[in-house]
Amino acid sequence: MSMRTVDWTALRRRDAEPAAEGLRERKKRLLRRQLSDTATEMFMERGFDAVRVSEIAEACGVSEKTVFNYFPTKESLVLDLGEVTLGSLRTTLADPDLSPVEAVLKILSGELAGITSWLTEQDDLAQAKNMLLRFGMLIGSTPSLRAYQRDMVDQQVAVAAEVLAQRNKMSPDDPEPQIAATALLALWPIQFQALRRHLNRVQTPEQLHDMVSADVQRAARLIDTGLTSLAPARPSK
């Protein structure tokens, strides 16, 4: 299984795709995916800093300006799924029928299911696992990608704090929604670390899903205990 035959689009959550869309919207969505997938392949083959945006544009048959119309930075080409998570936080975390921890677990479960489904669809499971590990290494070894990821997490924490504040009739600047949002977003690195830890310890994607989920739920239970006290502070007398 060469990198050029890897279907990176399968890693995207199915519910992130519109159920119905016009031809123009579909073309734009598919071009965005093509740009991101092509960039990811090129970065993993040659390294992030060795690939110019103009080369990605040429490989996709578009101008460099078109690339930046879809992705504001070179880093966002490879870390575009952070925007999907951001949107999920705005909607799922605001669901009054779900506790904050339940909402975040729902988002994480969907993202994990996308990864394990992708693994199931690949012809060579061992090489597919190696591709995921290499993708993680690409991010971890590239300072600008790590910085972009940190900035994205800051945005996600801010959005989560705003939603939690609205749910509890508080200000997003209050310490309670701030620390609650930070704790909830900490479940993402827990999932990534569990995925990396268990990836080559299991025989099937189903086993991987179960083991990673178990680790995330252990951490979530600890957070859930603290969030039961999330409530507006009483005015001082």
- Could you give the dihedral angle defined by the CA atoms of residues 205, 123, 7 and 42, in that order, rounded to the nearest 10 degrees? 110
d(CA 121, CA 136): 20
pLDDT of residue 14: 42
pLDDT of residue 19: 59
The tokens for 212 are: 């990673």
**What's the rounded mean pLDDT across residues 157-161?**
97
Q: What are residue 80's phi and psi, to 5 degrees?
A: -75, -20
Mean pLDDT of the chain: 88
CB atoms within 10 A of CB 54: 11
Q: What is the pLDDT of residues 44-98, one digit of tens each?
A: 999 999 999 999 999 999 999 999 999 999 999 999 888 889 999 999 999 999 9
Q: Grade residue 236 by pLDDT with cuts at 50, 70 and 90.
A: very low
Q: Grade residue 2 by pLDDT with cuts at 50, 70 and 90.
A: very low
d(CA 92, CA 95): 5
The tokens for 53 are: 């945006």
Range name among 43-52, 106-115, 118-127 with the lowest pLDDT average: 118-127
Domain with CATH 1.10.357.10 in the chain: 79-227
Domain with CATH 1.10.10.60 in the chain: 20-73
Q: What is the pLDDT of residues 18-39, one digit of tens each?
A: 557 788 888 998 999 899 989 9
**What's the rounded mean pLDDT across residues 179-205?**
94
Greater pLDDT, 81 or 142: 142
The listed CATH number (3.30.450.20, 1.25.40.10, 3.40.640.10, 1.10.10.60) that belongs to domain 20-73: 1.10.10.60
pLDDT of residue 212: 97
Amino acid residing at 114: G
Top-level CATH class of 79-227?
mainly alpha
Range name among 2-16, 24-38, 167-181, 201-215 with the lowest pLDDT average: 2-16
The tokens for 101 are: 């921890």
The tokens for 114 are: 């996308």
